Amino acid sequence: MPKVYLGIGTNSGRRKKNIEVALRLLKKEKIKINQVSSFFKTRPEEGVKGSYFLNGVAEIETELKPKGLLRFLKEIEENLGRERNHKREEPRAIDLDIIFYGSLILNESDLIIPHPKFRKRRFVLEPLNEIAPSFNDPVTGKKIETLLKENCSARL
């Protein structure tokens, strides 16, 4: 089974509880959680409204194919109160993104792996560096610790 890295974020409701429930729900669908980073308190970025975020990363293993995993993550988001067609700038009880799916590179209309914005997001790179500093981005070939240094010199 491939190692998959998921970005996890929340900026509404009971943030810690949202994360706990999301992690518990992940385990229900042939998903093994290997490790979870610390969660960092961050300001909303990219025009998202609401209060601070808690952001982190989980390393999982799954038998689900990428699109099946994406569907399952969307189900968890809906289960925790995120509407399927929410607006990009709206606060969210939970946000689950596939950052990496092993070394897969996928570019389809509904799913891009690696996540197209992760290299510029300190709130992803910092927790990812905590649990997988030597993981190589399959697109650039660079280690996470290198991407963090190059793109996000200030710490959270």
The torsion angle over the Cα atoms of residues 83, 87, 92 and 96, rounded to 10 degrees, is 80
Residues with a known catalytic role: 82, 92, 95, 97
- 41, 19 Cβ separation under 8 angstroms: no
Tell me how far apart the alpha carbons of residues 69 and 63 are, in angstroms, rounded to a whole number: 9
What are the phi and psi torsion angles at 112 (to 5°)? Answer: -125, 125
